[in-house]
Amino acid sequence: MAKKFDRKLVKTAPPLAVAGAVFVLVGCGGLMMTQRPGPPRTVAEQQGQQIFRYDTFGDEQLWTDKLHMASIVDSKVTPIQALGLGLKVDMDKLNFGKFVLHNPLGASGTRELLREDAVVGLKATFDDSGHVQRIGVTCALCHSTVDSAMLPGIGHRLDGWPNRTLNVGAVIALSPAVTPEQRAVYTSWGKGRYDPRFNFDGKNTPLEIPPAYGLASVKNETYTAEAPISYWNAYVAVTQMGGHGDFSDPKLGIDIHQTPDLVTPKLAPLRDYQHSLRAPSGGGIDAAAASRGQAVFAGHCQSCHVGGAGTDNDAGVLHAPSETGMDGAYALRTNNKAYRTTPLRGLRFHPPYFHDGSAATLAEVVDHYDRVRHLQLSARDKHDLTEYLKTL
């Protein structure tokens, strides 16, 4: 029998909007150092971009019909509250004049942002009276952010960047359909974290939302290397976002079939677009130290972080948690019971690090491996290696 989704389902959140009153919430904050990606180069990448940004895969059946988020967003979520939850606004879609006219301090301001398709990762439809009738989420909710070119939380889209300020659990906890026990779990996750198995096994070991850029040479996208990227896209779209489609994995005991399948036909162009997203880079690096750090990396790190992808998992290698000093609680919930070596791309742009966010900075990553792997690095070696990692 096909497994039904469960109200514990999580993977993207609903409300959002942002306002001229955003100053009140976000206050100060510098612009992110970014490289905005160029436009898609092929027809498949163009299709994939539209899917990534705007396709809900029919997941309104979860967010509207089961979690009742359309009515919550329509009547209760203000732009400032949405920003506080980590939602982002695409300034290239924002009609600021119309937004201000629709009361940026009230839920009507949120509705206007949704009408403009300006809330990254949310898609809404409206009834004849202008109220939110149905709402769903897209891949971009968790895997896009903005460069804050206008204000913190409002800027140009950065597809593939993990939204590390998005509080997915707090968004889901707004639903009147979740139980108090579920709400306690969701609100425990915090910013930038999400548990993609809680709705199946009831355990709680949330993961850092990973970047979706720099994946073109990476065979397995997930922390525990279940399968290639399209497998994970299908898993998330159907079992987490609540999309209307097919996903089956006998090892996990999941067999979901829904007609029509709104997911499977879109996986190839979605993958093509994700593969086109290059990892960002930027200045502000001590070049001499980074050059020395490359030698330190070659001597101590390159046996696992191999090749252009920066991971030995492309050759099928996995590592027991004890091998690298990682908390094994999440790995034990998966088929492989181990972690892959994380590909190294755009590292300086997506702290914190490790699957559980246990290292706040790259310097802490270096300290961790120096301790666990008994590398005996000098203070200068650590500094140089940290600078080199910023170049990847």
Strand partners for 389: none
Which of 10-24, 48-62, 87-101, 378-392 is least confident?
10-24
3-state helix, strand, coil in the chain (%, to 5): 40, 10, 55
- Which pTM was predicted? 0.89
| Alpha carbon distance 173, 160 (integer Å) | 25
- Taking every pair of Cα atoms in the chain, the longest distance, rounded to a whole number of angstroms, is 68
pLDDT of 6 reads 42
pLDDT of 37 reads 65
pLDDT of 7 reads 36
pLDDT of 104 reads 86
Q: How confident is the model at residue 284 (pLDDT cuts 50, 70, 90)?
A: confident
Q: How confident is the model at residue 100 (pLDDT cuts 50, 70, 90)?
A: confident
Q: What pLDDT, in 10s, does the model give residues 243-257?
A: 999 999 999 999 999
pLDDT of 36 reads 64
Model confidence at 70: pLDDT above 70: yes
Q: How confident is the model at residue 101 (pLDDT cuts 50, 70, 90)?
A: confident
Model confidence at 135: pLDDT above 90: yes
329 contacts 339 by C-beta, under 8 angstroms: no
When pLDDT is averaged across residues 71-83 and rounded to a whole number, the result is: 96
pLDDT of 34 reads 54
Q: How confident is the model at residue 327 (pLDDT cuts 50, 70, 90)?
A: very high
Specify the DSSP class assigned to residue 279.
Answer: P
Model confidence at 54: pLDDT above 90: yes
The per-residue pLDDT of the chain, averaged, comes to: 90
Residue found by looking up tokens 């999400």 in the block: 194
Model confidence at 81: pLDDT above 60: yes
Q: What pLDDT, in 10s, does the model give residues 258-281?
A: 999 999 999 999 999 999 999 998
Say whether the peptide bond before residue 39 is cis (omega within 30 degrees of 0). no
Distance between start and end Cα atoms, the chain: 46
Burial readout 186-210 (b: 16 or more C-beta within 10 A, e: otherwise): beebebbbbbbbbbbeeebbbbbbb
Residue found by looking up tokens 């809900």 in the block: 56
pLDDT of 19 reads 35
pLDDT greater at residue 17 or residue 183: 183
Model confidence at 59: pLDDT above 80: yes
Q: What pLDDT, in 10s, does the model give residues 15-27?
A: 333 333 333 333 3
Q: What pLDDT, in 10s, does the model give residues 288-311?
A: 999 999 999 999 999 999 988 899
Q: What pLDDT, in 10s, does the model give residues 194-209?
A: 999 999 999 999 999 9
Model confidence at 5: pLDDT above 80: no
